[in-house]
Amino acid sequence: MSKKKSIKAPKAKVSNKISAQEVAVNYDERPPVFSLERLQSGDFCLQELDQEGKANFADAIFRRKDKMWKEIKQMPKHGLGFEKIAKSSIKAPIPKFITPDVEHFLAFRYHGLKPMVGYRKNDIFYVLWFDNCFSLYNH
């Protein structure tokens, strides 16, 4: 009598991880999302603006809604573009949630030359301050 050799089925690789194809997102190819979620209270808050300043802020957001970050980077700083402001230049207290990877702040003009200052994370611009009196940093 001959011995039968059994064929062993290969063991399936079992994993409790679910994998999905990761898609790299180029946030420069998206328009900015403006957020007041982290706006600081005090002298540089939205509440300190008059009605005209608040209306101009809304208009400033509207004028940028169809522009991609890559386009905005090329625009004049006193137009629809922005300028970089060193963290050390800010005269207001820096919020504790600002991490070391935030190397600088950005200043967008919202009312003439008056800047709103904050930082960018992905496609979101978090407004931290409205520099209504030009005293947040040296201009």
Q: pLDDT tens digits for 103-115?
A: 899 999 999 999 9
Query: pLDDT tier at 15 (50, 70, 90 boundaries)?
Result: low
| Residue 3 is assigned to a structural domain of this protein | no
Domain count for the chain = 1
Query: Does the pLDDT value for residue 13 go beyond 80?
Result: no
- Residue 86 placed within a domain: yes
Give the per-residue pLDDT at 23. 79
Q: What burial class does residue 124 get, using C-beta atoms within 10 Å of its C-beta: 0-12 exposed, 13-18 middle, 19+ buried?
A: middle
Give the whole-angstrom CA distance, residue 107 versus residue 42: 18
Whether the model clears a pTM of 0.85, i.e. scores above it, the answer is no
Q: In this model, does residue 14 exceed pLDDT 70?
A: no
Rounded distance between C-alpha atoms, residue 32 and residue 23, angstroms: 20
Angstrom CA distances, 26 to 30, 76, 103, 121, 139, stand at 8, 22, 20, 12, 32
Provide the pLDDT confidence category of residue 87 given band limits of 50, 70 and 90. very high
> Is 23 inside a domain boundary?
no
Q: Would you say residue 138 has pLDDT above 60?
A: yes
67 part of a folded domain: yes
69 occurs within a structural domain: yes
**Backbone φ and ψ of 21, nearest 5°:** -70, 125
Question: Average pLDDT of 121-139?
Answer: 96
